[in-house]
Amino acid sequence: MDEHFQNAGKPKTFAGRYNIHILVYWERFQYINLAIDREKEIKKWRRAKKDMLIASINPTWAALDPD
């Protein structure tokens, strides 16, 4: 999250270009390969399905990061 926040406004980075620095959803995995598989699965979804996933855990889309 720190890297995303530091890159805010820097157009050469994905986080900077799209102003992505607020955490609204996350999942915990014991093994990195399972986390990578899940990320790939979610990236294939349409935006509406991703929005429903976030809303199912965080209906108000409140920032989950400590700051």
What pLDDT, on a 0 to 100 scale, did the predictor assign at position 15? 75
Q: Rounded to an integer, what distance in angstroms lies between the CA atom of residue 10 and that of residue 25?
A: 23
What pLDDT, on a 0 to 100 scale, did the predictor assign at position 47? 95
Which three-class secondary structure string do you get for the chain?
Answer: CHHHHHCCCCCCCHHHHHCCCCCCCCCCCCCHHHHHHHHHHHHCCCHHHHHHHHHHHCCCCCCCCCC
**Mind listing the pLDDT tens digit for each residue in 22-54?**
889 999 999 999 999 999 999 999 999 999 999
